[in-house]
Each structure stands twice: as C-alpha cells, then as structure tokens.
Amino acid sequence: MALLEVKDISVYYGVIQALKGISFEVEEGEIVALIGANGAGKTTTMQAIMGLIHPKTGSIYYNGERIDNIPTHKIVKMGMSEVPEGRHVFQELTVYENLMMGAYTVKNKEKIKEDVQEIFKLFPRLEERRNQIAGTLSGGEQQMLAISRALMSHPKLLLLDEPSMGLSPLLVNEVFDIVKHIHQEGTTILIVEQNAEKALQIADKAYVLETGNIILKGTGKELRDNDDVKKAYLGG
C-alpha cells in the first residue's frame, strides 16, 4: 500500500476543469516530483491533497485512509505538512512565532524547544533573525522559514510547492540540499517544481502534468532522458 494514493481526481473552479482525472502514488520513503508548465494544475493537485479544495470526483488515500473529504487540520494531524507556493509565512509574526505556528499540533513543549534548536542548526540564518518580523525577511529567508515551519510538525509526508521559486542559483542548490537532507532523515517527499532539471535529479519517481492530465511518468532518470521532457522542460 502506497503512503499516498491519488485516484482519478478531477477538480473544477466554477466551470473550468483544472484536473481531468489524474492518478498517482507516493510510496513511503520516496521523493516524487510533479513537473509541468504554468497552469498545468500542480498547485491544484497539492491543495486537493491538503484538503484545501475538494475534488469533484475521484479519491485520495493517505496511509490507507480516505482523506479527500476531511478538513485540512485533520489531514495535518495525520502527519502531512506543506510548504505552499509563494511561502505564505505569517508576515506579522516573528520568525520564532512562525515556527510555533508550525508546531501547532505538537503538544510536548520540551520537544518543541528541541525542534527549534534543530531547525536553527539547519538554518543558522533564522536563528540570527529569531525575533525579526517575518514580513521583513528576504525572499530566500522566507522560503527557509516556510520549510522550517513545515518541519515543526514532524510530517511523515512533506509537500513542497515550488520551493526554489524566485531564488538565486546558489540558494536553489541550498534548498535542494535541504530537501535531500530532510529525505534522508526519513521524510517522504512530494515536490512540485518548475526547475525540472533539479527536481528530476533528486526524484525516485516523477510525473509530468499537462493541462490537467498526467501525460508521462517514470523514474527521475527515465524522464531526464526522455526527448519530449528534454524539449519541453529541460531547455532542449
């Protein structure tokens, strides 16, 4: 049984159909990448998994339990967490308070303290800015904070929606190193990326999404070698 099973879901925004019956699976311990052009439906897919929108047809299973009709906060408690597209850190709260929001579902105060220390080891720049208002952080720092915040709940499955968006090449590398690190620590990862090159490098398995349909799937390597993918997403 896969950790996450998406079965034939379709999502509509009014009359516009954003997902036209897509299916895919994420096995425990994998890194799975979802690539596709702007508007393909990647974010919609992530939001459907998180329960922020509900598919009209189809179903989603997490750990064998059906989740496509339960509210987001319950899905989070089941061990899922997301770094949303565009970061969405809480602008008015400090770095530290943002981390506390990430630990909202964690009861053990001692554990939270230890986790914050762990995070600060991983991101020393956040420790220096501990009491800074998140809205005044640079884009890169906000992304680090968004990732840290998502880790505070100890997700079993972490969803990353374009974590490298708007970052300088050096920072992009750093983000992918961190993703690999999180994965090595035992977290299963579903990542959406415009930077298909990088995503396919780290992915065990990948799916290509085009206007609401999955048109290709394979291992990261298979897709990197695929001529269509090369042409459309890897710049020739």
Q: Which residues bind ligand ATP (CB under 6 A)?
A: 13, 16, 18, 36, 38-44, 85, 194
- Strands of the sheet containing 205-210, edge to edge, are 80-83, 157-161, 188-193, 31-35, 205-210, 213-219
Which of 36, 84 has the CB closer to another protein?
84
Strand partners, 35: 193, 208
Per-residue binding string, another protein, 99-138, x by CB under 8 A, is: -xxx-xx-----------------------------x---
Residues that bind Mg ion (CB under 5 A): 42-43, 85
* Cβ atoms of residues 190 and 5 within 8 Å: no
The option from Mg ion, another protein, ligand ATP, none interacting with 122 (CB < 5 to 8 A, set by class) reads none
Min. distance of Cβ 119 from ligand ATP in angstroms? 27
Closest CA to 73 of 98, 97, 101, 114: 101
Residue 76 contacts another protein per CB under 8 A: yes
Q: CA 178, 181, 185, 187 torsion: positive or negative?
A: positive
* Cβ atoms of residues 233 and 208 within 8 Å: yes
Which of 153, 226 has the CB closer to another protein?
153
From CA 52, how far away is CA 84, in angstroms rounded? 11
Min. distance of Cβ 123 from another protein in angstroms? 18
Min. distance of Cβ 141 from Mg ion in angstroms? 21
The rounded radius of gyration (Å) of the Cα atoms in the chain is 17
Strands 205-210 and 31-35, by their bridges, are parallel
Two tokens, residue 234: 């890897």
- The stretch near another protein (CB under 8 A) out of 4-12, 18-26, 31-39, 46-54 is 46-54
Coil, strand or helix: which one is 228? helix
- The stretch near another protein (CB under 8 A) out of 22-30, 37-45, 93-101, 218-226 is 93-101
Per-residue binding string, another protein, 197-226, x by CB under 8 A, is: ------------------------------
Q: Which residues in this chain contact another protein in the complex, by CB under 8 A? A: 50-52, 71-73, 76-77, 81-82, 84, 86-93, 97, 100-102, 104-105, 135, 139, 142, 149-150, 153, 165-166
